[in-house]
Amino acid sequence: MNSIKLVGVVLIVLGALGLVYGGFSYTKDTTALKVGPLEMTVQEKKTVNVPLWAGIGAIVVGGVLLVMGGKKG
């Protein structure tokens, strides 16, 4: 399997996951207070939404790369 087909498969999988889950979240540590050697941190939960058009676009582009990746010339 060449690299173009591999990128196509990865885009299809990521696009499908984006459509199924609609986004992802992560936790970010932020320093809230620092006084001398003492430091207080706060954990913030951030959410990133994946737009519907981005998921569909990734699937379409991945499909095109998968089909056209095997053709030479």
Single pTM value for the model? 0.69
Tens digits of residue pLDDT in 2-22: 888 899 999 999 999 999 998
Nearest of 70, 49, 57 to residue 14 by alpha carbon: 57
Query: What's the mean pLDDT in 17-30?
Result: 90
pLDDT of residue 1: 63
Q: What are the DSSP calls for 9-48, one per residue?
A: HHHHHHHHHHHHH-EEEEEEEEEEEEETTEEEEEEEEEEE
Number of domains in the chain: 1
Q: 57 near 16, Cβ under 8 Å?
A: no
Q: Is residue 59 part of a domain?
A: yes
Question: Is a pLDDT exceeding 90 seen at residue 71?
Answer: no
Mean pLDDT, the chain, as a whole number?
89
pLDDT of residue 2: 83
Q: Is residue 46 part of a domain?
A: yes
Q: Is residue 73 part of a domain?
A: no
User: Which residues form the domain of 27?
Assistant: 3-68
